[in-house]
Amino acid sequence: MEPTPVTEVDMECRGRVVRVLLKRESHHPTGSVKDRTARGLLVSLDRTRALTPGTVVVESTSGNLGLGLARLLRRMDCRLIAVVDPRAPEATVEALRSMGAELCLVDEPDHHGGYLLSRLQKVRQLCLDNPGYRWTDQYNNPANPAIHRATTGPELFRGAPTAPDAVYVAVSTGGTLAGVAGHVRSVDRGIRIVAVDAEGSRSVDEHGGGERLIPGIGSSRRSAFLHPGSYDSVVKVGAAATVAMCRYIRQSTGLCLGGSSGAVVHAVLADQTGPGAPRRPLALCADGGEKYERTIYDDGWLERYGLADQVADRIDGYRAEGVVFSLPAESGEHHRGSDMHIRPPGRLPYGAPMQSRDDARAVVRRIWSEELFVEHVELYDDFFDLGGDSLTAVRVAFRVQEEFGLDVPVETLFMAPTVAEFIGALSSLKSTEHTEPFRSSGEAAR
Protein backbone atom coordinates (compact mmCIF):
# COMPACT_ATOMS: atom_id res chain seq x y z
CA MET A 1 0.00 0.00 0.00
CA GLU A 2 1.56 3.28 -1.07
CA PRO A 3 1.33 6.23 1.32
CA THR A 4 -1.19 8.83 0.20
CA PRO A 5 -0.07 12.40 -0.51
CA VAL A 6 -0.69 15.45 1.60
CA THR A 7 -1.77 18.70 -0.03
CA GLU A 8 -1.21 21.90 1.90
CA VAL A 9 -3.91 24.56 1.73
CA ASP A 10 -3.85 28.01 3.30
CA MET A 11 -7.08 28.77 5.11
CA GLU A 12 -7.62 32.41 5.95
CA CYS A 13 -10.30 33.38 8.45
CA ARG A 14 -10.75 36.86 9.91
CA GLY A 15 -7.29 37.91 8.80
CA ARG A 16 -5.50 34.85 10.28
CA VAL A 17 -3.93 32.27 7.99
CA VAL A 18 -3.53 28.63 8.97
CA ARG A 19 -1.86 26.04 6.77
CA VAL A 20 -4.11 22.99 6.68
CA LEU A 21 -2.78 19.56 5.71
CA LEU A 22 -5.19 17.58 3.54
CA LYS A 23 -4.28 13.91 3.53
CA ARG A 24 -5.82 12.70 0.34
CA GLU A 25 -7.04 9.15 0.53
CA SER A 26 -8.56 9.46 -2.93
CA HIS A 27 -5.14 8.38 -4.19
CA HIS A 28 -5.77 4.75 -3.28
CA PRO A 29 -6.56 2.33 -6.14
CA THR A 30 -10.35 2.60 -5.87
CA GLY A 31 -10.31 6.17 -4.61
CA SER A 32 -10.93 6.07 -0.86
CA VAL A 33 -9.58 5.31 2.61
CA LYS A 34 -11.67 2.14 2.45
CA ASP A 35 -9.04 0.46 0.25
CA ARG A 36 -7.04 0.17 3.45
CA THR A 37 -10.00 -1.21 5.38
CA ALA A 38 -10.77 -3.72 2.61
CA ARG A 39 -7.25 -5.12 2.78
CA GLY A 40 -7.29 -5.40 6.55
CA LEU A 41 -10.67 -7.14 6.60
CA LEU A 42 -9.80 -9.61 3.84
CA VAL A 43 -6.48 -10.53 5.39
CA SER A 44 -8.25 -11.26 8.68
CA LEU A 45 -10.90 -13.32 6.90
CA ASP A 46 -8.23 -15.22 5.01
CA ARG A 47 -6.35 -15.95 8.25
CA THR A 48 -9.45 -17.42 9.83
CA ARG A 49 -10.11 -19.62 6.82
CA ALA A 50 -8.41 -19.28 3.42
CA LEU A 51 -10.26 -17.35 0.75
CA THR A 52 -10.31 -19.68 -2.23
CA PRO A 53 -11.65 -19.16 -5.76
CA GLY A 54 -15.43 -19.08 -5.60
CA THR A 55 -15.66 -17.89 -1.97
CA VAL A 56 -18.60 -15.52 -1.54
CA VAL A 57 -18.02 -12.48 0.66
CA VAL A 58 -20.94 -10.34 1.84
CA GLU A 59 -20.72 -6.83 3.22
CA SER A 60 -22.98 -3.88 3.96
CA THR A 61 -21.44 -0.76 2.45
CA SER A 62 -22.13 2.88 1.69
CA GLY A 63 -20.13 2.18 -1.48
CA ASN A 64 -16.46 2.84 -0.85
CA LEU A 65 -15.68 -0.32 1.09
CA GLY A 66 -17.53 -2.29 -1.57
CA LEU A 67 -15.17 -0.90 -4.22
CA GLY A 68 -12.10 -1.83 -2.22
CA LEU A 69 -13.40 -5.35 -1.55
CA ALA A 70 -14.55 -5.85 -5.15
CA ARG A 71 -11.12 -5.00 -6.51
CA LEU A 72 -9.25 -7.43 -4.29
CA LEU A 73 -11.81 -10.24 -4.43
CA ARG A 74 -11.94 -10.18 -8.20
CA ARG A 75 -8.22 -10.81 -8.28
CA MET A 76 -8.72 -13.91 -6.20
CA ASP A 77 -11.66 -15.17 -8.25
CA CYS A 78 -13.94 -14.68 -5.26
CA ARG A 79 -17.43 -13.15 -5.37
CA LEU A 80 -18.70 -10.07 -3.55
CA ILE A 81 -22.31 -9.38 -2.64
CA ALA A 82 -22.47 -5.68 -1.74
CA VAL A 83 -25.55 -4.71 0.27
CA VAL A 84 -26.14 -1.04 -0.56
CA ASP A 85 -28.88 1.56 -0.12
CA PRO A 86 -30.28 4.34 -2.32
CA ARG A 87 -27.75 6.89 -1.01
CA ALA A 88 -24.80 5.08 -2.61
CA PRO A 89 -23.64 7.42 -5.40
CA GLU A 90 -24.68 6.27 -8.87
CA ALA A 91 -21.07 6.39 -10.05
CA THR A 92 -20.08 4.04 -7.22
CA VAL A 93 -22.89 1.62 -8.01
CA GLU A 94 -21.84 1.58 -11.68
CA ALA A 95 -18.21 1.00 -10.70
CA LEU A 96 -19.20 -1.84 -8.36
CA ARG A 97 -21.09 -3.54 -11.17
CA SER A 98 -18.24 -3.12 -13.61
CA MET A 99 -15.88 -4.69 -11.07
CA GLY A 100 -18.07 -7.78 -10.94
CA ALA A 101 -19.79 -7.17 -7.58
CA GLU A 102 -23.33 -8.43 -7.17
CA LEU A 103 -25.55 -5.72 -5.73
CA CYS A 104 -28.31 -6.17 -3.22
CA LEU A 105 -30.26 -2.91 -2.81
CA VAL A 106 -32.03 -2.26 0.50
CA ASP A 107 -34.49 0.63 0.19
CA GLU A 108 -36.36 0.34 3.50
CA PRO A 109 -34.99 2.96 5.95
CA ASP A 110 -34.38 1.85 9.52
CA HIS A 111 -36.18 3.50 12.45
CA HIS A 112 -33.37 6.06 12.85
CA GLY A 113 -33.84 7.46 9.36
CA GLY A 114 -30.72 5.78 7.94
CA TYR A 115 -30.37 2.45 6.18
CA LEU A 116 -27.61 0.77 8.15
CA LEU A 117 -29.81 -1.37 10.37
CA SER A 118 -31.84 -2.53 7.36
CA ARG A 119 -28.65 -3.33 5.44
CA LEU A 120 -27.28 -5.33 8.38
CA GLN A 121 -30.51 -7.27 8.67
CA LYS A 122 -30.17 -8.15 4.99
CA VAL A 123 -26.57 -9.31 5.44
CA ARG A 124 -27.56 -11.54 8.39
CA GLN A 125 -30.40 -13.02 6.38
CA LEU A 126 -28.11 -13.75 3.41
CA CYS A 127 -25.62 -15.48 5.71
CA LEU A 128 -28.34 -17.50 7.44
CA ASP A 129 -29.76 -18.65 4.10
CA ASN A 130 -26.31 -19.43 2.70
CA PRO A 131 -24.05 -20.82 5.45
CA GLY A 132 -20.98 -20.77 3.16
CA TYR A 133 -21.09 -16.98 2.78
CA ARG A 134 -18.37 -15.04 4.61
CA TRP A 135 -19.07 -11.64 6.20
CA THR A 136 -16.15 -9.23 6.65
CA ASP A 137 -18.22 -7.28 9.25
CA GLN A 138 -16.56 -3.88 9.09
CA TYR A 139 -18.68 -2.76 12.07
CA ASN A 140 -17.21 -5.21 14.60
CA ASN A 141 -14.10 -6.75 13.08
CA PRO A 142 -11.01 -5.52 15.02
CA ALA A 143 -9.07 -5.79 11.75
CA ASN A 144 -10.82 -2.55 10.71
CA PRO A 145 -9.19 -0.23 13.28
CA ALA A 146 -6.03 -2.38 13.28
CA ILE A 147 -5.18 -1.61 9.67
CA HIS A 148 -5.53 2.14 10.30
CA ARG A 149 -3.41 1.92 13.42
CA ALA A 150 -0.73 0.15 11.40
CA THR A 151 -0.83 2.28 8.24
CA THR A 152 -2.91 5.48 8.29
CA GLY A 153 -1.73 6.61 11.74
CA PRO A 154 2.03 6.29 11.14
CA GLU A 155 1.76 8.00 7.75
CA LEU A 156 0.54 11.19 9.42
CA PHE A 157 4.01 11.72 10.88
CA ARG A 158 6.29 10.60 8.10
CA GLY A 159 8.43 12.82 5.96
CA ALA A 160 6.87 16.17 6.89
CA PRO A 161 8.94 18.94 8.41
CA THR A 162 6.34 19.61 11.14
CA ALA A 163 3.92 17.12 12.66
CA PRO A 164 0.23 18.06 12.90
CA ASP A 165 -1.04 19.41 16.22
CA ALA A 166 -4.62 18.29 15.52
CA VAL A 167 -6.11 15.48 13.45
CA TYR A 168 -9.69 15.54 12.09
CA VAL A 169 -11.33 12.30 10.93
CA ALA A 170 -14.86 11.56 9.70
CA VAL A 171 -16.65 8.69 11.43
CA SER A 172 -19.07 6.02 10.35
CA THR A 173 -17.99 2.60 11.66
CA GLY A 174 -15.34 4.58 13.57
CA GLY A 175 -12.63 2.16 12.40
CA THR A 176 -10.49 4.81 10.74
CA LEU A 177 -10.61 7.18 13.71
CA ALA A 178 -10.09 4.43 16.31
CA GLY A 179 -7.00 3.16 14.49
CA VAL A 180 -5.57 6.62 13.83
CA ALA A 181 -6.23 7.63 17.45
CA GLY A 182 -4.54 4.49 18.76
CA HIS A 183 -1.37 5.43 16.91
CA VAL A 184 -1.52 9.19 17.53
CA ARG A 185 -2.00 8.71 21.29
CA SER A 186 1.00 6.39 21.39
CA VAL A 187 3.16 9.06 19.72
CA ASP A 188 2.04 12.25 21.44
CA ARG A 189 -0.87 12.63 23.80
CA GLY A 190 -0.89 16.39 23.19
CA ILE A 191 -2.18 16.10 19.64
CA ARG A 192 -5.88 16.97 19.49
CA ILE A 193 -8.08 14.33 17.89
CA VAL A 194 -11.43 15.47 16.53
CA ALA A 195 -14.24 13.11 15.52
CA VAL A 196 -16.30 14.59 12.70
CA ASP A 197 -19.80 13.17 12.53
CA ALA A 198 -22.96 13.97 10.59
CA GLU A 199 -25.91 15.71 12.21
CA GLY A 200 -28.49 13.01 12.94
CA SER A 201 -25.84 10.31 13.30
CA ARG A 202 -25.42 8.01 16.30
CA SER A 203 -21.78 7.02 15.62
CA VAL A 204 -20.44 8.70 18.77
CA ASP A 205 -23.54 9.15 20.93
CA GLU A 206 -27.07 7.83 21.18
CA HIS A 207 -28.79 11.17 20.67
CA GLY A 208 -28.95 11.31 16.91
CA GLY A 209 -31.61 10.22 14.50
CA GLY A 210 -33.09 11.52 11.27
CA GLU A 211 -32.41 11.55 7.59
CA ARG A 212 -28.78 11.95 6.53
CA LEU A 213 -27.87 12.78 2.96
CA ILE A 214 -24.09 12.50 2.75
CA PRO A 215 -22.85 8.94 2.21
CA GLY A 216 -19.83 7.64 4.10
CA ILE A 217 -20.18 9.78 7.21
CA GLY A 218 -22.45 8.99 10.16
CA SER A 219 -24.27 5.86 11.24
CA SER A 220 -27.60 4.70 12.64
CA ARG A 221 -25.85 3.06 15.56
CA ARG A 222 -22.94 3.65 17.87
CA SER A 223 -19.43 2.73 16.75
CA ALA A 224 -18.14 -0.49 18.29
CA PHE A 225 -14.56 0.84 18.09
CA LEU A 226 -14.76 4.31 19.62
CA HIS A 227 -14.69 5.19 23.32
CA PRO A 228 -14.47 8.63 24.90
CA GLY A 229 -10.65 8.39 25.07
CA SER A 230 -10.42 7.95 21.31
CA TYR A 231 -11.05 11.65 20.66
CA ASP A 232 -10.90 15.01 22.39
CA SER A 233 -13.96 16.56 20.80
CA VAL A 234 -16.77 15.91 18.37
CA VAL A 235 -18.02 18.25 15.65
CA LYS A 236 -21.36 17.35 14.08
CA VAL A 237 -21.85 18.79 10.63
CA GLY A 238 -25.11 19.11 8.70
CA ALA A 239 -25.61 18.41 5.00
CA ALA A 240 -25.79 22.10 3.97
CA ALA A 241 -22.52 22.99 5.72
CA THR A 242 -20.85 19.92 4.22
CA VAL A 243 -21.95 20.72 0.67
CA ALA A 244 -21.13 24.43 1.04
CA MET A 245 -17.58 23.62 2.14
CA CYS A 246 -17.03 21.13 -0.70
CA ARG A 247 -18.19 23.70 -3.23
CA TYR A 248 -16.33 26.64 -1.70
CA ILE A 249 -13.03 24.75 -1.68
CA ARG A 250 -13.51 23.67 -5.27
CA GLN A 251 -14.34 27.23 -6.37
CA SER A 252 -11.27 28.69 -4.69
CA THR A 253 -8.60 25.99 -5.15
CA GLY A 254 -9.89 23.57 -7.79
CA LEU A 255 -9.61 20.70 -5.28
CA CYS A 256 -12.61 18.42 -5.58
CA LEU A 257 -13.23 16.73 -2.21
CA GLY A 258 -15.80 14.11 -1.26
CA GLY A 259 -18.66 14.84 1.13
CA SER A 260 -17.12 13.59 4.37
CA SER A 261 -13.95 15.57 3.55
CA GLY A 262 -16.03 18.76 3.22
CA ALA A 263 -17.44 18.03 6.69
CA VAL A 264 -13.95 17.50 8.06
CA VAL A 265 -12.65 20.80 6.66
CA HIS A 266 -15.76 22.51 8.04
CA ALA A 267 -14.77 21.15 11.48
CA VAL A 268 -11.21 22.47 11.03
CA LEU A 269 -12.61 25.93 10.26
CA ALA A 270 -15.08 25.82 13.16
CA ASP A 271 -12.23 25.05 15.59
CA GLN A 272 -10.30 28.10 14.45
CA THR A 273 -12.70 30.43 16.23
CA GLY A 274 -12.27 28.78 19.66
CA PRO A 275 -9.45 29.13 22.19
CA GLY A 276 -6.25 27.16 21.60
CA ALA A 277 -7.00 26.84 17.89
CA PRO A 278 -4.67 24.31 16.22
CA ARG A 279 -1.83 25.85 14.20
CA ARG A 280 -1.17 22.82 12.04
CA PRO A 281 -4.41 20.90 11.60
CA LEU A 282 -4.55 17.77 9.46
CA ALA A 283 -7.80 16.78 7.76
CA LEU A 284 -8.04 13.16 6.70
CA CYS A 285 -9.90 13.42 3.37
CA ALA A 286 -11.50 9.99 2.95
CA ASP A 287 -12.35 10.29 -0.75
CA GLY A 288 -12.52 12.67 -3.70
CA GLY A 289 -15.51 14.48 -5.17
CA GLU A 290 -15.73 12.94 -8.65
CA LYS A 291 -18.33 10.36 -7.66
CA TYR A 292 -20.49 13.12 -6.16
CA GLU A 293 -20.89 15.15 -9.37
CA ARG A 294 -24.54 14.16 -9.54
CA THR A 295 -25.24 14.91 -5.87
CA ILE A 296 -23.12 17.33 -3.83
CA TYR A 297 -21.87 19.22 -6.90
CA ASP A 298 -25.20 19.18 -8.74
CA ASP A 299 -27.59 22.17 -8.39
CA GLY A 300 -30.64 20.06 -9.28
CA TRP A 301 -29.86 17.67 -6.41
CA LEU A 302 -29.57 20.60 -3.99
CA GLU A 303 -32.96 21.92 -5.13
CA ARG A 304 -34.54 18.48 -4.78
CA TYR A 305 -33.46 18.19 -1.16
CA GLY A 306 -34.30 21.81 -0.33
CA LEU A 307 -30.66 22.67 0.39
CA ALA A 308 -29.96 25.27 -2.31
CA ASP A 309 -30.74 28.39 -0.21
CA GLN A 310 -28.94 27.12 2.88
CA VAL A 311 -25.84 26.28 0.86
CA ALA A 312 -25.88 29.70 -0.85
CA ASP A 313 -26.24 31.41 2.56
CA ARG A 314 -23.31 29.47 3.98
CA ILE A 315 -21.09 30.43 1.05
CA ASP A 316 -22.12 34.09 1.42
CA GLY A 317 -21.27 33.75 5.10
CA TYR A 318 -17.74 32.51 4.30
CA ARG A 319 -17.21 35.51 2.04
CA ALA A 320 -18.54 37.92 4.66
CA GLU A 321 -16.19 36.47 7.29
CA GLY A 322 -13.20 36.68 4.95
CA VAL A 323 -12.76 32.90 4.70
CA VAL A 324 -10.34 32.24 1.84
CA PHE A 325 -8.74 28.97 0.75
CA SER A 326 -5.66 29.04 -1.48
CA LEU A 327 -2.91 26.72 -2.57
CA PRO A 328 0.44 28.05 -1.35
CA ALA A 329 2.78 28.72 -4.26
CA GLU A 330 5.86 27.24 -2.66
CA SER A 331 4.56 23.99 -1.29
CA GLY A 332 1.71 22.03 -2.84
CA GLU A 333 1.54 18.30 -2.78
CA HIS A 334 4.09 16.04 -1.32
CA HIS A 335 4.25 12.43 -0.34
CA ARG A 336 4.73 11.61 3.26
CA GLY A 337 6.09 8.30 4.18
CA SER A 338 7.58 7.59 0.80
CA ASP A 339 11.21 6.54 0.60
CA MET A 340 12.26 9.58 2.65
CA HIS A 341 11.82 7.66 5.88
CA ILE A 342 13.85 4.64 4.87
CA ARG A 343 17.21 5.01 6.55
CA PRO A 344 20.13 3.65 4.62
CA PRO A 345 21.88 0.83 6.46
CA GLY A 346 25.16 1.49 8.23
CA ARG A 347 24.54 5.27 8.12
CA LEU A 348 25.74 5.51 4.55
CA PRO A 349 25.18 9.00 3.15
CA TYR A 350 22.28 9.05 0.72
CA GLY A 351 24.48 10.43 -2.07
CA ALA A 352 27.21 7.77 -1.71
CA PRO A 353 27.49 4.83 -4.08
CA MET A 354 26.25 1.49 -2.81
CA GLN A 355 29.37 -0.06 -1.42
CA SER A 356 28.70 -3.63 -0.53
CA ARG A 357 26.37 -6.49 -1.13
CA ASP A 358 25.45 -6.49 2.54
CA ASP A 359 24.29 -2.87 2.27
CA ALA A 360 22.20 -3.68 -0.77
CA ARG A 361 20.72 -6.75 0.86
CA ALA A 362 19.84 -4.76 3.98
CA VAL A 363 18.09 -2.08 1.92
CA VAL A 364 15.99 -4.67 0.11
CA ARG A 365 14.99 -6.34 3.35
CA ARG A 366 14.17 -3.07 5.02
CA ILE A 367 11.97 -1.81 2.22
CA TRP A 368 10.02 -4.99 1.80
CA SER A 369 9.66 -5.87 5.42
CA GLU A 370 7.98 -2.48 6.02
CA GLU A 371 5.15 -3.64 3.81
CA LEU A 372 2.52 -4.94 6.13
CA PHE A 373 1.19 -7.66 3.91
CA VAL A 374 4.47 -9.26 3.07
CA GLU A 375 4.88 -12.45 4.98
CA HIS A 376 8.31 -13.40 3.79
CA VAL A 377 11.10 -12.07 1.57
CA GLU A 378 13.36 -14.66 0.10
CA LEU A 379 16.49 -13.74 -1.82
CA TYR A 380 16.68 -16.68 -4.13
CA ASP A 381 19.29 -15.11 -6.30
CA ASP A 382 21.91 -12.65 -5.22
CA PHE A 383 23.61 -9.42 -6.12
CA PHE A 384 26.73 -9.24 -8.16
CA ASP A 385 29.17 -6.47 -8.73
CA LEU A 386 31.36 -5.80 -11.69
CA GLY A 387 34.48 -4.90 -9.78
CA GLY A 388 35.93 -1.72 -8.31
CA ASP A 389 35.35 -0.59 -4.77
CA SER A 390 31.68 0.09 -5.19
CA LEU A 391 28.87 -1.89 -6.74
CA THR A 392 28.81 -0.90 -10.38
CA ALA A 393 25.75 -2.96 -11.03
CA VAL A 394 23.30 -4.55 -8.67
CA ARG A 395 21.02 -7.28 -9.77
CA VAL A 396 18.15 -7.93 -7.48
CA ALA A 397 16.13 -11.06 -7.84
CA PHE A 398 13.90 -12.40 -5.15
CA ARG A 399 10.44 -13.59 -4.31
CA VAL A 400 8.08 -11.77 -2.04
CA GLN A 401 5.50 -13.98 -0.47
CA GLU A 402 2.34 -11.93 -0.32
CA GLU A 403 -0.88 -11.90 1.58
CA PHE A 404 -3.32 -14.59 0.49
CA GLY A 405 -0.37 -16.83 -0.33
CA LEU A 406 0.52 -15.07 -3.59
CA ASP A 407 4.12 -14.98 -4.73
CA VAL A 408 5.56 -11.90 -6.38
CA PRO A 409 8.74 -12.50 -8.33
CA VAL A 410 10.92 -9.38 -8.57
CA GLU A 411 13.95 -9.11 -10.76
CA THR A 412 15.75 -6.02 -11.92
CA LEU A 413 19.16 -4.55 -12.65
CA PHE A 414 20.43 -1.23 -11.32
CA MET A 415 23.53 0.35 -12.80
CA ALA A 416 25.95 2.04 -10.39
CA PRO A 417 23.32 3.27 -8.02
CA THR A 418 23.87 5.69 -5.19
CA VAL A 419 22.23 4.78 -1.91
CA ALA A 420 19.42 7.28 -2.60
CA GLU A 421 18.86 5.99 -6.15
CA PHE A 422 18.78 2.42 -4.96
CA ILE A 423 16.26 3.17 -2.23
CA GLY A 424 14.14 5.26 -4.61
CA ALA A 425 14.22 2.65 -7.37
CA LEU A 426 13.31 -0.17 -5.02
CA SER A 427 10.49 1.86 -3.51
CA SER A 428 8.91 2.59 -6.87
CA LEU A 429 9.48 -1.02 -7.92
CA LYS A 430 7.62 -2.05 -4.82
CA SER A 431 4.68 0.17 -5.67
CA THR A 432 4.34 -1.10 -9.23
CA GLU A 433 5.40 -4.73 -8.94
CA HIS A 434 4.23 -5.30 -5.47
CA THR A 435 1.41 -3.11 -4.26
CA GLU A 436 -0.41 -2.82 -7.57
CA PRO A 437 0.26 -6.38 -7.83
CA PHE A 438 -2.27 -8.96 -7.67
CA ARG A 439 -3.30 -9.39 -11.22
CA SER A 440 -0.01 -10.39 -12.80
CA SER A 441 1.48 -12.01 -9.73
CA GLY A 442 -1.72 -13.72 -8.71
CA GLU A 443 -2.27 -15.12 -12.16
CA ALA A 444 1.30 -16.29 -12.33
CA ALA A 445 0.93 -18.04 -9.01
CA ARG A 446 -2.18 -19.95 -9.90
Ligand X SMILES: Cc1ncc(COP(=O)(O)O)c(C=O)c1O
Contact residues toward ligand X (CB under 6 A) are: 32, 34, 62, 64-65, 170-177, 216-217, 258, 260, 286-287
User: Of 27 and 361, which has the nearer Cβ to ligand X?
Assistant: 27
Min dist CB 62 to ligand X, Å, is 5
User: Of 170 and 364, which has the nearer Cβ to ligand X?
Assistant: 170
Min dist CB 172 to ligand X, Å, is 4
Instruction: Choose among 24, 4, 14: nearest CA to 269.
Output: 14
Q: Do the Cβ atoms of 270 and 9 come closer than 8 Å?
A: no
Burial class (CB in 10 A: 0-12, 13-18, 19+), 171: buried
Rounded Cα gap, residues 150 and 40, in angstroms: 10
Min dist CB 65 to ligand X, Å, is 6
- Alpha-carbon dihedral of residues 73, 221, 112, 242, nearest 10 degrees? -80
User: Of 2 and 59, which has the nearer Cβ to ligand X?
Assistant: 59
Q: How many CB atoms lie within 10 A of CB 205?
A: 11
Do strands 324-326 and 16-24 pair parallel, antiparallel, or not at all (unpaired)? Answer: unpaired
User: Of 152 and 441, which has the nearer Cβ to ligand X?
Assistant: 152
Min dist CB 416 to ligand X, Å, is 45
Hey, which bits of 210-290 come out as E strands?
233-237, 281-285
| Residues near 105 by beta carbon (within 8 Å), at least 6 away in sequence | 84, 85, 86
User: Of 258 and 442, which has the nearer Cβ to ligand X?
Assistant: 258
User: Of 153 and 344, which has the nearer Cβ to ligand X?
Assistant: 153
Min dist CB 96 to ligand X, Å, is 13
Do strands 192-198 and 281-285 pair parallel, antiparallel, or not at all (unpaired)? Answer: unpaired
Min dist CB 148 to ligand X, Å, is 7
Rounded Cα gap, residues 12 and 441, in angstroms: 48
Q: Do the Cβ atoms of 180 and 205 come closer than 8 Å?
A: no
Min dist CB 27 to ligand X, Å, is 14
**At 147, phi and psi to the nearest 5?**
-70, -35
User: Of 237 and 354, which has the nearer Cβ to ligand X?
Assistant: 237
Min dist CB 56 to ligand X, Å, is 21
Sign of CA dihedral 268, 269, 273, 279: positive
Min dist CB 332 to ligand X, Å, is 24
User: Of 35 and 402, which has the nearer Cβ to ligand X?
Assistant: 35
User: Of 181 and 419, which has the nearer Cβ to ligand X?
Assistant: 181
Do strands 393-401 and 102-105 pair parallel, antiparallel, or not at all (unpaired)? Answer: unpaired
User: Of 156 and 348, which has the nearer Cβ to ligand X?
Assistant: 156
- Alpha-carbon dihedral of residues 193, 199, 205, 209, nearest 10 degrees? -160
Residue nearest to ligand X (CB): 216
- Three-class DSSP category at 377: strand
Min dist CB 41 to ligand X, Å, is 11
Sign of CA dihedral 44, 438, 57, 59: positive
Q: How many CB atoms lie within 10 A of CB 310?
A: 17
Rounded Cα gap, residues 136 and 100, in angstroms: 18
